[in-house]
Structure 1
């Protein structure tokens, strides 16, 4: 029998050496040779005696340490000598032993070969200068525009990763067709057409993330930071995302079309009733008409209370239901272009303050922060405590008044809610002192 194999078989049958050989394997992977020190903690008396029998050193403590070279020299004094340590380890574990660096290089080569094979396929089927081929060339060369998404999925399942890359490339080719046809396509329809699955390019899915990276390549753009910029990026290539879930509640806001005021929303305005506007409804809307002051609140219950107490008084009031979505941001832009002033009020807690601050940063002084001063905070305070993670959100607030309010919240660490200042909000809208 081969001495290396015989040696490995002997030690494999002596379980007391198992931890020692595990560490020997790790050291060879790190150094690629007999090098380094082996440390075994909480050893048993049997383990210590076994190691002593090989290297000739007596151990008394439960934690023992010896060099790889000492162990290898000990083996060369046994009946198995001469032995090759690398081959002994390979026989012991039943697999090829490579250094971590060599293994990493092989994995990198396999990954590049994987991408180059798909690239070659794209070039053969769609031409060397097709958008799919050029995108994948950039992914490979610059490690950008989806490289991390591809590698993550490749590690999970190479075959599924191949489908993912091909679907993303085919999607970019399809986008070129849409551009030439000058037509829009709903995201679900587009996804089904490319992959057979209407949810394949949903936001946050591997396909959705890779599609966005591909579009960023087309547009030479940065990755979208939020849902609104994600929506805008898709729309820039004539893909229409879900336009129903992005909505805002409104009262007294007139919507303009090329043919004049929108008749359906005019009916609500004439009846002095609130209504819902989605992104789908905004197709064909060119602008808005509003009262000189437009009031925006964050909370649906607050919105309902204010409308029920306006007593048919003329007013324009919107409700964002928390974080303003795309339709709300679009309407705010149109309202400001119409020269109306906007007064925004939200809950006086970390999330509410951040939302207000972001709106002001985006739209400037056309947005007036309304009823969110330190004095309003005192009136709106609840008994709900704010934890450390919430308090940390109050850093880097830019608006001057909101900065002061944020400092007050940091001290008191209690959330303030619009429901506690309903009368003040109502008096402001009514213009009462």
Structure 2
């Protein structure tokens, strides 16, 4: 067979026309994954059609009239020649000196090779197995990672090693991202979030926290804050009033003076990390509001009220302050806006702190209706209500879903003032 195959290759290579024809056969097989299809006669000159027609036992003009050359027909006629024991696929493989495979098969082999590469990385980095499992499941949103892996596998392996080191060395206390990056890699910019390494880092953290990959600055900051990493310790702040604080040296004089003068403080993380204890200037209740306008109005009613304003989504500074308040034995009363994001924030607090330290403040279904909801919620935002699972929020989430509108704290500020 080998001898006959070699003779067939030599025979067809002796005529340049067959080089052109077989190249079209090869492309057709790569496209279809089998012997089949047709080749347009327009690709060949009259002289070339005479050669091919001779193989079929017809003049080139007759072949031209047919309009195309059948690949399967060529294989049938091959069976009637002295090379009849040779299949056309075997002839093409020998002719081109390679095993011809379909594009689909080539893609699958490439995909399989990449998966094997990832499986090796998974074995080398056991702390990241959960992340590699996510990639291997081929879930949505990871195509860019597979593209990166395919493009530069060695670079990807090096970045994976840095991810492993970083994940095993997450900070126990708040740490700036550049300082964290310097500590892990010796380069403060290694995890810059616009670079590939930084994007992979964010994806790893998102998978670890079982949240979607962050697409906004706010979501990115929140994800990093979950791991006690922050991008800025001056612009990451929380607003508060009516609170005492202590540091290693005892009562903090700035906080003491702020209480005495009923002064509102805007406290960045840089100052919070120095504190050992925070507690209200009176009683054990602290009122937490989302909206700065509501906070200011409540302070107008009662200038010495112990209050915290988160100014929208919780910053790491806000969470740090509330953590310290709960550690000191305080009871948090949280009131937020009646929208999917507000309920999400409320759920986060309810899940973060023991039930004997946090309570919703005018965030029930009746309060929602009393807020006169008027702003239409998009379907995309309403979808977020499906994430509300805490028993204390299910009723209001259901009411919001049925009405499809958002309500706001401002409408209830007089009731809130009466409470404090």
TM-score range, shorter chain: 0.5 to 0.7
The answer to whether residue 313 in structure 2 is matched with residue 323 in structure 1 is yes
Per-residue deviation at 1:358? 2.4
Question: For the residues of structure 2 that align with 1:208 and 1:338, how far apart are their CA atoms?
Answer: 36
Q: Which residue of 1 aligns with 2:358?
A: 367
Secondary structure of the structure 1 residue equivalent to 2:396? helix
| Greater gyration radius | 2
Question: For the residues of structure 1 that align with 2:113 and 2:238, how far apart are their CA atoms?
Answer: 51
- Alpha-carbon contact 1:139-1:146 (below 8 Å) kept: no
Q: Which residue of 2 aligns with 1:98?
A: 101
Q: Give CA-to-partner distance per residue, 1:167-198, whole Å, 9 cap, x none.
A: 5577689x69x99xxx9974314535765753
Q: Give CA-to-partner distance per residue, 1:187-242, whole Å, 9 cap, x none.
A: 3145357657533224585424666899x9xxxxx82346667446467xxxx764
Question: For the residues of structure 1 that align with 2:243 and 2:161, how far apart are their CA atoms?
Answer: 46
Seen in structure 2, the aligned counterparts of structure 1 residues 338 and 189 have a Cα distance that, compared at 3 Å, is closer
Q: Which residue of 1 aligns with 2:295?
A: 303
- Alpha-carbon contact 2:290-2:337 (below 8 Å) kept: yes
Q: Which residue of 2 aligns with 1:158?
A: 153
Query: Paired residues, what number?
Result: 365
Out of 257, 268, 271, which is 2:258 matched to?
268
Q: Which residue of 1 aligns with 2:339?
A: 349
Deviates more, 1:289-298 or 1:204-213: 204-213
Per-residue deviation at 1:343? 1.0
Seen in structure 2, the aligned counterparts of structure 1 residues 76 and 263 have a Cα distance that, compared at 3 Å, is farther
Q: Which residue of 2 aligns with 1:282?
A: 272
Seen in structure 2, the aligned counterparts of structure 1 residues 68 and 268 have a Cα distance that, compared at 3 Å, is farther
Question: For the residues of structure 1 that align with 2:368 and 2:77, how far apart are their CA atoms?
Answer: 76
Per-residue deviation at 1:368? 1.2
- Alpha-carbon contact 1:296-1:342 (below 8 Å) kept: yes
Secondary structure of the structure 2 residue equivalent to 1:393? helix
Question: For the residues of structure 2 that align with 1:74 and 1:305, how far apart are their CA atoms?
Answer: 93
Out of 21, 25, 32, which is 1:10 matched to?
21
Secondary structure of the structure 2 residue equivalent to 1:250? strand
Seen in structure 2, the aligned counterparts of structure 1 residues 250 and 45 have a Cα distance that, compared at 3 Å, is farther
Deviates more, 1:418-427 or 1:367-376: 418-427
Pairs within 5 Å for 1:1-150: 3=12, 6-10=17-21, 24-28=29-33, 34=34, 72-73=75-76, 84-85=88-89, 88=92, 97-98=100-101, 104=108, 138-139=124-125, 148=135
Question: For the residues of structure 2 that align with 1:255 and 1:44, how far apart are their CA atoms?
Answer: 85
Question: For the residues of structure 2 that align with 1:185 and 1:361, how far apart are their CA atoms?
Answer: 24
Question: For the residues of structure 2 that align with 1:389 and 1:206, how far apart are their CA atoms?
Answer: 29
Out of 199, 204, 209, which is 1:224 matched to?
209
Cα RMSD (Å) of the superposition? 4.9
Secondary structure of the structure 2 residue equivalent to 1:381? coil
- TM-score (norm: length of structure 2): 0.67
Per-residue deviation at 1:155? 1.3
Out of 365, 370, 393, which is 1:379 matched to?
370
Seen in structure 2, the aligned counterparts of structure 1 residues 87 and 190 have a Cα distance that, compared at 3 Å, is farther
Per-residue deviation at 1:136? 7.5
Q: Give CA-to-partner distance per residue, 1:325-359, whole Å, 9 cap, x none.
A: 33322322322233322111111011111221221
Question: For the residues of structure 1 that align with 2:361 and 2:244, how far apart are their CA atoms?
Answer: 23
